[in-house]
Amino acid sequence: MEEIRSNQGRIANVNRRQLERRRKKQLQRRKKVLVISAAGILTVATLFGIHKFNKNDFERVMPEGYMQIYTTEQVERNDTLTSIAEEYYDDDIYDSYYEDINDYVEEIADINNISNPNRIDPYTTVIIPALTEENNIYMEQIEAIDTQIDQLPKWVDYEVQAGDTILGLSYLGAGNTDEAYSIQYSIMDRNDLDNSTIVIGQHIQIVNPEIGALKKERELLREKLHESLKVSTEKSL
């Protein structure tokens, strides 16, 4: 579980950087000063340690109107990186950026430090690079929610009601169960509580429930985004 949360955190940061790059790119287009250089691409590739050019110098070209983001996929029994890659690899889109699906599989292996793409441990999580349209509606909605969360106060005053518990109040500010367990200790620290005991009428500060509601909404959108990155069943038939 720690590994999954760690991967999700890494991906959220990378995707946020991708969104920031997109906003800058759009601004540059408006000013008509967009300049793309091979040297710049190589620099970014070196910094992130993710992109790799093939030995035969295949030139990757991002399809117009698309961008690359990162998601995760849980490995099931009998999965291989090839079988996972096939869920994302849309020939019409990916063939201009990757030489072929083997090139794509090799990049996934490099990102996850997997030496044998045909032998991966089940029930682990792998990071998947995926191409998506720049105006992907789910990404735009996630970005809007992130903005709302950043603008809200993290802590709010609260009067303890009958039946309240620290863990129960933690769920109000959490996006998922695992986060709630972490938040309960933050609430205790915030209010200088030696234990989790609280009484009716006590005034404490809790993580803003509005943030928790937005985080839950964001998790649902992330699930929809994840599915939108895959090759549709109709197209694969």
What's the confidence (pLDDT) of residue 12? 64
Output the DSSP codes for 17-68: HHHHHHHHHHHHHHHT-----HHHHHHHHHHHT-----TT-----PPTTEEE
Q: Tell me whether residue 235 is in a domain.
A: no
Average pLDDT over every residue of 26-31: 39
Q: Are residues 117 and 173 in the same domain?
A: no
Q: Tell me whether residue 233 is in a domain.
A: no
Q: What's the number of domains the chain is made of? A: 2
What's the confidence (pLDDT) of residue 233? 55
The yes-or-no verdict on residue 34 having pLDDT over 50 is no
Q: Could you tell me the residue range of the domain that residue 112 belongs to?
A: 2-135
Q: Are 188 and 166 in contact (CB under 8 A)?
A: yes
Q: Are residues 106 and 176 in the same domain?
A: no
The yes-or-no verdict on residue 7 having pLDDT over 70 is no
Q: Tell me whether residue 224 is in a domain.
A: no
Q: Tell me whether residue 236 is in a domain.
A: no
Q: Are residues 127 and 23 in the same domain?
A: yes
Instruction: Considering only residues 21 and 200, tell me which one the structure prediction assigns the higher pLDDT.
Output: 200
Average pLDDT over every residue of 212-231: 96
Average pLDDT over every residue of 213-237: 85
Q: Are residues 79 and 120 in the same domain?
A: yes
Q: Which of 29-38, 152-161, 200-209 has the lowest mean pLDDT?
A: 29-38
Q: Tell me whether residue 20 is in a domain.
A: yes
Q: Are 134 and 100 in contact (CB under 8 A)?
A: no
Question: Over 2-25, what HEC string results?
Answer: HHHHHHHHHHHHHHHHHHHHHHHH
The yes-or-no verdict on residue 53 having pLDDT over 80 is no
The yes-or-no verdict on residue 190 having pLDDT over 90 is yes
Q: Are 212 and 171 in contact (CB under 8 A)?
A: yes
Neighbours of 130 (CB within 10 A): 22
Q: Are residues 92 and 119 in the same domain?
A: yes
Q: Tell me whether residue 185 is in a domain.
A: yes
Average pLDDT over every residue of 87-110: 95
Instruction: Spell out a b/e string for 76-104, using b for 16 or more CB atoms within 10 Å of the CB, else e.
Output: eeebebeebbeebbbeebbbebbeebebb
The yes-or-no verdict on residue 212 having pLDDT over 60 is yes
